[in-house]
């Protein structure tokens, strides 16, 4: 959830960066570089959703979330730095996550009576 929330902030930062690109385009400086912040925000949201849907490859999603958080710094103002931190923490938590162990009933602490004949 942190990665998705961070992706929303990165998307907002990318939107601001794209609007700055529109202002530059009015003065004749045209570049598609300003749209990469929007793409980074969308990809961060997708990775956050995939963390919830397919948790078996949590390591891959964690690495991608950290990578997109780092890329957001120059491309989308880091999502006003809040998005960067949220996506970074979400990626680190995804890397550190361990699957819950199934509960096994053990008989080590119980006394088992011998079989009757």
Segment 26-39, tens digit of pLDDT = 988 887 888 899 99
Confirm whether 114 is domain-assigned. Answer: no
- In the three-class reduction of DSSP (H, G, I as helix; E, B as strand; rest coil), residue 91 is classed as helix
Confirm whether 35 is domain-assigned. Answer: yes
Confirm whether 30 is domain-assigned. Answer: yes
Confirm whether 106 is domain-assigned. Answer: no
Give residue for tokens 């980074």.
40
Note the pTM of the prediction, 2 decimals: 0.82
Average pLDDT over residues 12-16: 94
Report how many domains make up the chain: 1
- Which residue range is the domain that position 79 belongs to? 2-96
């Amino acid at each position: 959830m942190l990665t998705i929330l961070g992706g929303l902030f990165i998307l907002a930062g990318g939107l601001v960066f794209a609007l700055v690109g529109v202002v530059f385009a009015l003065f004749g400086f045209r570049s598609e570089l300003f749209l990469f912040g929007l793409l980074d925000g969308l990809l961060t949201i997708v990775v956050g959703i995939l963390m919830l849907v397919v948790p078996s490859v949590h390591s891959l999603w964690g690495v991608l979330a950290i990578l997109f958080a780092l890329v957001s710094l120059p491309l989308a103002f880091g999502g006003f730095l809040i998005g960067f931190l949220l996506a970074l923490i979400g990626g680190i938590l995804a890397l550190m996550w361990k699957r819950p162990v199934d509960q096994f009933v053990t008989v080590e602490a119980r006394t088992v009576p011998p079989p009757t004949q």
